[in-house]
């Protein structure tokens, strides 16, 4: 497995591999890798990529003021070992100054799908995500890139960006990997105390209950407003502070008033100081 820190060297290598006919997959991450990330590598393998490039980069541009950029867990050594074991063929771990040299002043903005949900709560977040992913697409020359459904809005925004800007990169979205308890795996789970981890179970429980109720109602679905109140109450009982609870059309991310097939429920809530997100599709 190759390890790149220099963007230009990665670019030269992936370009040569692509010219030689190798199918290239990109798996963008911020590191502190867990089974959720590694499932994306497995998906790339399943799709017969000859080269699987995992990028590990805590992207400063997607963090807002007062967010956890400085304290975000950085576990490079363990991440490299995990990538090797999972079957990645290259890891790209650039320094922030290599990705954003002095004078960097160009950003990519998706203006519709990124407006609500996490975009409304974290101004500038998706601008940072789109910018870094655009750069990674240019540097890794992938045929396809694998993202997790855990970041539901992010996957939609990236798909739109790839289409709108003609990247020619197929966007693959893989299912959410959960702990046995139901908690969606996240690098930020490392922040949780045992009591907060217990509270956080309310997210997946509320989503599972909601999904089951909506599915039981079939094509007609169930009204969202009372469900929303029920989820809010469940999160509050568990000691979580709600950031948002929304039901949207899974394609357009426009709010819906009925939970039926084609809708998705997206949650963001704080367990202590840690902001967690989760979602389910009906």
Q: Which of 37, 125, 141, 143 is catalytic?
A: 37
CB of 6 to ligand AMP, least distance (A): 21
In 96-169, beta strands by DSSP E: 144-148
Name which of 38 and 248 has its Cβ closer to ligand AMP. 38
Q: How far is the CB of 219 from ligand AMP (least distance, A)?
A: 28
255 sits in the region (left: phi over 0; alpha: psi -120 to 50; else beta) called beta
Task: Choose the stretch contacting ligand AMP; rule: CB under 6 A; options: 103-111, 178-186, 200-208, 248-256.
Answer: 178-186
Within its chain, how far is the Cα of 212 from the centroid?
24
- 187 binding ligand AMP? (CB under 6 A): yes
Instruction: Using CB atoms within 10 Å of the CB of residue 143, give its burial: 0 to 12 exposed, 13 to 18 middle, 19+ buried.
Output: middle
Does residue 40 bind ligand AMP (CB under 6 A)? yes
CA distance 91 to 79: 9
Taking the CA atoms of the chain, what radius of gyration do you get in angstroms?
19
* Contact predicate 208/182, CB 8 Å: yes
Q: Which of 55, 114, 153, 186 binds ligand AMP (CB under 6 A)?
A: 186
Closer CB to ligand AMP, residue 11 or residue 75?
75
Among 43, 51, 110, 151, binds ligand AMP (CB under 6 A): 151
Should residue 93 be labelled a site residue for ligand AMP when binding is judged by CB under 6 A? no
Cβ neighbours of residue 157 under 8 Å, at least 6 residues apart?
A: 110, 113, 114, 119, 126, 129, 130
138 is catalytic: no
Query: Which residues make up the interface to ligand AMP (CB under 6 A)?
Result: 29-30, 36-37, 39-40, 147-148, 150-151, 174, 176-177, 184-187
């Amino acid at each position: 497995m190759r390890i790149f820190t220099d963007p230009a060297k990665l670019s030269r290598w992936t370009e040569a591999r692509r010219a030689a006919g190798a199918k290239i997959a990109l798996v963008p991450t911020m590191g502190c890798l867990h089974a959720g990330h590694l499932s994306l590598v497995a998906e790339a393998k399943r799709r017969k990529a000859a080269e699987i490039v995992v990028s590990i980069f805590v992207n400063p541009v997607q963090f807002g003021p007062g967010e956890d950029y400085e304290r975000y867990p950085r576990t490079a050594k363990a991440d490299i070992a995990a990538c090797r074991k999972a079957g990645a063929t290259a890891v790209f771990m650039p320094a922030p100054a290599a990705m954003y040299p002095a004078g960097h002043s160009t950003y990519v903005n998706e203006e519709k799908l990124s407006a609500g949900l996490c975009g409304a709560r974290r101004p500038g977040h998706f601008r940072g995500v789109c910018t870094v992913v655009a750069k990674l697409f240019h540097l890794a020359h992938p045929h396809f890139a694998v993202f997790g459904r855990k970041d539901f809005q992010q996957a939609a925004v990236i798909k739109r960006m790839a289409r709108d800007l003609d990247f020619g990169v197929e966007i693959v979205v893989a299912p959410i990997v959960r702990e046995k308890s139901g908690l969606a795996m996240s690098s930020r789970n490392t922040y949780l105390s045992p009591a907060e981890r217990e509270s956080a179970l309310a997210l997946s429980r509320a989503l599972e209950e909601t999904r089951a109720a909506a599915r039981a109602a079939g094509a007609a679905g169930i009204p969202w407003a009372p469900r929303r109140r029920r989820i809010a109450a469940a999160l509050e009982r568990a000691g979580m502070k709600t950031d948002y609870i929304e039901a949207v059309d899974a394609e357009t991310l426009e709010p819906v008033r009925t939970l039926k097939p084609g809708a998705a429920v997206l949650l963001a809530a704080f367990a202590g100081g840690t902001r967690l997100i989760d979602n389910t599709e009906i």
